[in-house]
């Protein structure tokens, strides 16, 4: 990092965005290369949604199809549904069976194990109130809001999805990703520098 850290490195950093493709993965990679490395720590990225994504990988879908730009595209391996549609349906089925916090409960165990092993944990898919509250229960945890408007206007909280459910919550940092990569990195550096 270019500046001296004023704020301590959180034990858990939760990243939330009210819309997809806002830059959470870029923030995660930058944290690993800068703040976490500068503190002499090792970072682990834990996905709350891992139980929804792993079955898609098991079917042979690629990273681009599950996490990237092809996640919205209908897929023959999924009977013509998009990977996002399948994951949303799986989330809703799990919520109907085990309650709306079922994914957060599963993730909490993985996060606790990683924290106890000395890792800095980044959770880049905080989406629901249960996810938010679960992250907040960890000592030294923060939740950041990362947002990049969609070209042509913001697309927040689509009814068929669970994006946008945390608008109105308190965030330790609001990252408006509206400039260059260097601007984005400057916001993160500024947070640790106490700006």
Instruction: Give the pLDDT of residue 158.
Output: 46
pTM, to two decimals: 0.84
Residue 111 belongs to a domain: yes
Provide CB contacts within 8 A for 109, sequence distance 6+. none
Residue 27 belongs to a domain: yes
Cβ 163 vs Cβ 17: under 8 Å: yes
Q: Are residues 141 and 56 both part of a single domain? A: no
Residue 32 belongs to a domain: yes
Q: Are residues 115 and 41 both part of a single domain? A: yes
- Give the CATH number for residue 137: 3.40.50.300
Q: Are residues 91 and 68 both part of a single domain? A: yes
Instruction: Give the pLDDT of residue 68.
Output: 80
**E-assigned strands of 80-169?**
120-126, 141-147
Domain, as residue range, for 64: 51-98
Residue 22 belongs to a domain: yes
Q: Are residues 91 and 115 both part of a single domain? A: no
Instruction: Give the pLDDT of residue 76.
Output: 93
Instruction: Give the pLDDT of residue 154.
Output: 46
- Final residue of a domain: which of 31, 64, 98? 98
Q: Are residues 23 and 115 both part of a single domain? A: yes
Residue 4 belongs to a domain: no
Q: Are residues 149 and 63 both part of a single domain? A: no
Cα angle 90, 153, 85; round to 5: 15
Q: Are residues 112 and 73 both part of a single domain? A: no
Residue 25 belongs to a domain: yes
Number of domains in the chain: 2
The number of beta carbons lying within 10 Å of the beta carbon of residue 108 is 19
Question: What does each of the 195 residues of the chain score in pLDDT, given as a tens digit?
Answer: 444 567 889 999 999 998 777 888 899 999 999 888 888 899 999 999 999 999 999 999 999 999 888 888 999 999 999 998 999 899 899 999 999 899 999 999 999 999 999 999 999 999 889 999 999 999 999 999 999 887 655 455 443 456 677 888 999 999 998 989 999 999 999 999 887
Query: Per the structure block, which two tokens stand in for 184?
Result: 């984005």
Q: Are residues 114 and 85 both part of a single domain? A: no
Instruction: Give the pLDDT of residue 150.
Output: 74
Instruction: Provide the sign of the torsion angle of the four alpha carbons 93, 73, 155, 44, taken in this order.
Output: positive
Query: Per the structure block, which two tokens stand in for 54?
Result: 């792993």
Residue 1 belongs to a domain: no
């Amino acid at each position: 990092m270019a500046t001296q850290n004023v704020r301590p490195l959180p034990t858990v950093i939760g990243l939330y965005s009210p819309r997809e493709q806002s830059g959470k993965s870029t923030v995660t990679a930058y944290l690993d290369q800068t703040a976490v490395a500068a503190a002499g720590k090792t970072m682990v990225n834990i996905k709350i949604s891992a139980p929804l994504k792993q079955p898609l990988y098991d079917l042979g879908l690629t990273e681009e199809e599950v996490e990237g730009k092809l996640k919205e595209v209908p897929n023959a391996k999924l009977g013509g549904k998009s990977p996002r549609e399948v994951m949303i349906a799986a989330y809703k089925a799990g919520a109907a069976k085990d309650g709306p916090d079922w994914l957060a409960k599963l993730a909490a165990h993985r996060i606790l194990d990683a924290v106890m092993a000395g890792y800095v944990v980044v959770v880049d898919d905080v989406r629901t109130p249960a996810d938010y509250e679960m992250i907040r229960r960890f000592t030294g945890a923060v939740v950041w809001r990362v947002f990049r408007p969609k070209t042509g206007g913001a697309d927040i909280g689509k009814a068929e999805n669970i994006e946008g459910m945390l608008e109105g919550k308190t965030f330790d940092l609001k990252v408006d990703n509206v400039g260059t990569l260097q601007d984005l990195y400057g916001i993160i550096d500024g947070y640790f520098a106490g700006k």
